[in-house]
A and B are shown apart, each in its own frame.
Chain A
Amino acid sequence: MPFLSVQNLYLYYRTRRGLVKAVDDVSFDMERGTTLALVGESGCGKTSTASAILRTLPRNVGRHEGRVLLDETDLMGLGDEEFRKKIRWRTISIVFQGAMNALSPTSQVGDQVAEPLRVHLDLEKEEAAAQAEATLQRVGLPEYIANRYPHELSGGMKQRVVIAMALVMKPKMVILDEPTSALDVMTQANIINLLKELQEREFLSYLFITHDLGLASELADQLGIMYAGNLVELGPATELYEAPQHPYTRALMNSVPRLRGGQAPESIPGTPPDLIEPPAGCRFHPRCPHAFEPCGWTAPELAEELRSQRTLEAAGLPAIKEVTVRDDQHLVVELAEAPKELASLGPLSRFVDGQKRSSPVYRGIKDLALDGGNVVATLHEPEVPGPVGSSHKASCWLLTRGA
């Protein structure tokens, strides 16, 4: 049994526009004493995954399901009070992003580090303070820091205090939510070294959430890549860095500037999708350079492409008068010159085939038919590829079909 096993985890938020599918069917396992880094763009659901595990949920939760097994305890089965008493800080703690604001400005840091002890163990003030001081020393801070207020500390010191706060109850696992994002590079390196040291000394497990692939490489044993609420690739860090499988992972790796080598960083075209109505099929398909026929193309996407299309005329074909979406899989195109028979679709089919090479959206077209004077385009059913591979999994048709 793995130390932490997350299976089919969902976390949706209710908003006025609809459900935000922040975490959608995420599954992963991790072993004791290792680090799993979750990497992805802002808003891809990394922090929500941590929230779903630690149940630090906002009020507008729409769906919170799945199985989270920690040391063979089903966390989702625990009541809120039980979870608070047994799991929070005793087993899992969290280091929040933005250490600058994670400390209350009005109390001394020693008090704040001691707070979880007072809350959970009901310790006397002196005893809690003594343990807090010891913990501050564990993270490499002198004990007199305990009597300081947060505004008297530097960013790196504050971050250490926040880490001390997470470690004060000696948890087995720590969720690190962008623990170094507000710090300069030197301090980042210091903190990462501290985290490594602590992991070795105290056999900690880390769920490390970051948007920084480089930083993740410092700490991660396993790497998980998230995109639009999905975990698209998961595997041992070394393998994943050397041979990324998913097109998104590859694009992400190419977007990182390198000190050596002539390769310029590349951006990923398009914008991250709206999580209220995420793209059908593979959520990355609209931005994917590889996208296959069943990756999830829908009639509205094709309609948008056709409406902005002028190349039809350039190819000597009749201009498009109107494009109507019939349903997700069917599109009706009214041409300026209505084709009279099936044979006249020939040039059109050839044009579409030609476009498939450069614009992936045309690959979604399964076939063309005549209906009255209009052309009806039928699209492939979206199919989401399941994760492929055993220790190194990725969810992409690329892996099953080959490039």
Chain B
Amino acid sequence: MPAPPPSVGIKEAFREAIRTKSGLAGGIMLAALIAMVVIVPIMAPYSIVKRWGDGQQWLDNPRYAAPVWSEWFTSKELPESAIFEPNDFRKIRINTTQFNLTFVSLRRSFTYTADVFPSELAMWAWATYGTGSTPSVIVTWIRPDGQEVEILNEGPQVRAPTPNTYPFSSTGQMSRSAQAIYNWALSFNATSLAPANSTTPWLYVKPEVTLFAVAGESMLDFRRAEVLKGEYAIRVELLGFTPEDDLDAKFIVYGTIFGLAGTDNTRRDLLIGLLWGAPVALAFGVIASFVIVVIQAVLGAISGWYGGWMDEILQRMADFLLIIPLLPILIIIALFYEVGIVQILAVLIVLGFVGSTTKVIRSLVLQIREEQYIEAALSYGAGRVRILFKHIMPRIMPYTFALIALSVPAYIFLEASLSFLGLGDPVLPTWGSLIGNAYSDGALFHGYWWWIVMPAGGILFATVAFSLLGYAFDKVLNPRLREE
């Protein structure tokens, strides 16, 4: 006769599980995750996450920036973004009543000491001007070696409060600036990267390189150019024809490192995605696992306790649902319908109301039901439902608990897989969708390791935490694994 399952209470099982090494490790990891879940809404409120997909929100961040701590692993000093808001400029405004002229000069100087070039340059300018003549905006780049380059001289397109945007690094869009920089560089006999027969060689200019490079032959070649360190300045000037004319500017020298987790192709702060991945993965994994395992356990208990046709039906349904491939079905559903994380959960529950837990619990109940106190309860006239809930359920609860902990990783992985395939929640950032984005942007090919490693680490951390806990429970509850 098989040994009846040991009878342990949930509390007792938990206490014993925590006492094992793996249980302790799992418990600490889980506690860390939970702490993260608590801290996240404070650090990154939902209002930020809601606009995760909104590109306008992230314009101040550099693109493809590595985490700041990656600097520790190189001998070089890497630049962080330098953002100059309108208030950071020294502003001089002169109004001549005689000719009705207005002159505005904005100037900002800064020190550049990094060993590598910045990743991008961009400017926003808010211009106020009358209906008559359009003023001109002149941007001058002042270098530590005394060189001055006029990189912009044109009238604004829109009036404040809408800013005029000047993405200097997009040379196609800012071809006149690129041309000016190209011509300036040629005065140092610089070698262009453009093919000899190119009619628009300035499109090959990288302003963020050339403007920061030591003047000379290599200044147009981003592979060979050397960084010129020292005091730079940017001057933005407006010459207007009405007394009301005014100008404000914002300038960003984008760095190559950002935050604790870096950024992705759309300049999003990956830390926010990573942090929010924890509650999403945890909530999805725990809720899916809890609901599915509890339903399966109850049905397994019913199956084992009542037997007969109910047993037959439940077990055959479990066989059926165990062999149908879950992931392809979910993919098909996600392709045909717009599904959020809640709908995915619902589909999982419907397709998993019976399954392996039903079978495990049924086999336990088949042993429990032969025990004497069940016979005693039947003989004093207790109904079958009452016995199920009073005597059988309490016996299987600890096992159900262990099974919940053990199956959380599977659901975290499932959610990550769906998100990776782009079939997960369309709004919330999840670890799976971060990896999915990275994959489709060729992150590994380009060496954006942080984009992959950190969300993958998150998935690993969460699944290992639950697995360790689950194994600890298993050790306590499984009679064959009980350590003497």
Task: For A149, give the chain B residue with the smallest CB separation.
Answer: B9
Q: What chain B residues lie within 8 Å of A93 (beta carbons)?
A: 380
CB–CB B372/A101 < 8 A: yes
Q: Which of A84-92, A196-204, A232-240, A322-330 contacts B (4 or more CB under 8 A)?
A: A84-92
* Given contact pairs A102-B373, A105-B7, A116 touches B395 in the complex (Cβ within 8 A): no
When distances are taken between beta carbons in the complex, the residues of chain A under 8 Å from B371 are 101
Q: Is A94 an interface residue (CB 8 A)?
A: yes
Is A60 positioned at the interface, with any CB of B under 8 Å from its CB?
no
B interface footprint on A101-129 (CB within 8 Å = 1, 0 otherwise): 11111110000100110011000000000
Q: List the B side residues contacting A106 at CB < 8 Å.
A: 7, 9, 391, 394-395
CB pair A56 B379 closer than 8 Å:
yes
**Among residues 68 to 93 in chain A, which have CB atoms less than 8 Å away from a CB atom of chain B?**
84-85, 88-89, 93
Q: Does A54 contact B (CB under 8 A)?
A: yes
Whether B372 pairs with A96 at a CB distance below 8 angstroms is yes
Give the shortest distance, in Å, between A229 (CB) and chain B (any CB).
21
B375 interface residue (CB < 8 Å to A): yes
* Shortest Cβ distance from residue A48 to the other chain B in the assembled complex, whole angstroms: 14
Chain A binder among B39-47, B150-158, B382-390, B445-453: B382-390
Contact of B379 among A94, A101, A104, A105 (CB under 8 A): A94
Chain B residues whose CB sits within 8 angstroms of the CB of A89 once the complex forms:
380-381
Q: List chain A residues, Cβ under 8 A from B383.
A: 119
Q: What is the distance, in angstroms, from A47's C-beta to the closest C-beta of chain B?
A: 11
Interface size on B, residues (CB 8 A): 19
Chain A residues with CB below 8 A from B378, complex form? 56
Q: Does A98 contact B (CB under 8 A)?
A: yes
Contacts of B391 in A (CB 8 A): 104, 106-107
| A22→B372 CA distance, assembly (Å) | 20
Assembly CA distance A183 to B32 (angstroms)? 51
Shortest Cβ distance from A99 into B: residue: B372
Contact of B380 among A97, A98, A107, A165 (CB under 8 A): A165
Residues of B within 8 A of A101 (CB): 371-373
Asked whether, in the complex, the Cβ of A88 is within 8 Å of the Cβ of B372, the reply is: no
Q: Is the CB of B381 within 8 A of A84?
A: yes
Give the complex CA separation of A165 and B379 in angstroms.
12
Known: A96-B372, A102-B372, A102-B373. A107 touches B379 (CB 8 A): no
Minimal beta-carbon separation of B181 from chain A (angstroms): 80
Q: Which residues from B are CB-within-8-Å of A88? A: 379-381
Within 8 A of B (CB), among A36-84: 54, 56, 84
A85 to B382, CA, bound (A): 10
User: B330 in the interface, Cβ–Cβ < 8 Å?
Assistant: no
User: What is the CA–CA distance of A98 and B370 in the complex, to the nearest angstrom?
Assistant: 13
Instruction: List the B side residues contacting A85 at CB < 8 Å.
Output: 381
**B410 interfacial by beta-carbon distance below 8 Å:** no
Q: How far is the CB of B113 from chain A (nearest CB, A)?
A: 69
Known: A96-B372, A98-B372, A107-B390. A119 touches B395 (CB 8 A): no
Bound together, the chains give a CA A103 to CA B391 distance in angstroms of: 10
* Distance of A115 Cα from B391 Cα, bound (Å): 11
Contact B373 A119 (CB under 8 A): no
- Could you tell me the distance between the alpha carbons of A61 and B386 in the complex, rounded to whole angstroms? 24
CB-defined contacts of A107 to chain B, threshold 8 Å: 390-391, 394
Asked if B324 is at the interface of the complex by the 8 Å CB criterion, the answer is: no
**With contacts A106-B394, A107-B394 known, is A96 near B381, CB below 8 A?**
no
Distance in Å: Cβ of B399 to nearest Cβ of chain A = 12
Cβ B7 vs Cβ A119 within 8 A? no
